[in-house]
Amino acid sequence: MRLAVGLGNPGAEYARHRHNVGFMAADAIAARHRLGPWRRKFRGEIAEGDLAGIRLLLLKPLTYMNESGRAVAEVARFYKIAPADVVVLHDELDLAPGKVRVKLGGGVAGHNGLRSIAAWLGTPDFWRVRIGIGHPGDKERVLGHVLGDFHKAELPWVEAMLAAIADAFDLLIGGDDGRFMNKVALATAAKPARERSAPA
């Protein structure tokens, strides 16, 4: 069994924020692979099903971003899921818009959701799917950028990226992170770079 966690903040007012792209990815994965229905449990919403011959739990914590680890730890403890079998999908300032990278462990780079999960699991050694939202170029604009909605001009690459993540997610759950990244990169490469950015 593996646990995949999409990070975001609950509530309609946050739904289109760049910071909520993890929630968006979780919704896309659930729809693509017919997981579900979503149920309220473990301080979050859970959908489950089989993917790549593996039982997958998909979690959207409803604790707000900085307490995401509470929900993740409750699910992991209940189902006896090791940190190395946890995959967290989250927004990444230090990646260009539309870029997706996967890594195991590492620092949290100021991301409150990752910090909370590492604290509650007692280790940073879980998988991360880093979803690029780009940097606004000025640290004074970071908060507004992260907690702002995707612009209308950004939606085509956002939707293409989410679809690519969902389509290839079985590869990642099956243990082939390299093929997952390659498939996502190929699926999103058709978008010209100039279409990947918009003023924040």
CATH code of the domain in which 153 resides: 3.40.50.1470
DSSP letter (8 states) at residue 63: S
- Give the span between the Cα atoms of 115 and 107, in whole angstroms: 9
Residue range 13-61, pLDDT digits in tens: 999 999 999 999 999 999 999 998 999 999 999 999 999 899 999 999 9
- Give the span between the Cα atoms of 139 and 167, in whole angstroms: 34
What is the C-alpha end-to-end distance of the chain, expressed in Å?
39
Q: How confident is the model at residue 200, as a pLDDT?
A: 37
Residue range 82-126, pLDDT digits in tens: 999 999 999 998 899 999 999 999 988 789 999 999 999 999 999
Q: List the strands of the sheet with 2-6, edge to edge.
A: 39-41, 44-51, 54-61, 2-6, 86-92, 127-132, 100-104
Structural domain including 174 reads 2-196
How many structural domains does the chain have?
A: 1
Give the predicted TM-score (pTM) of the model: 0.91
Catalytic site positions: 19
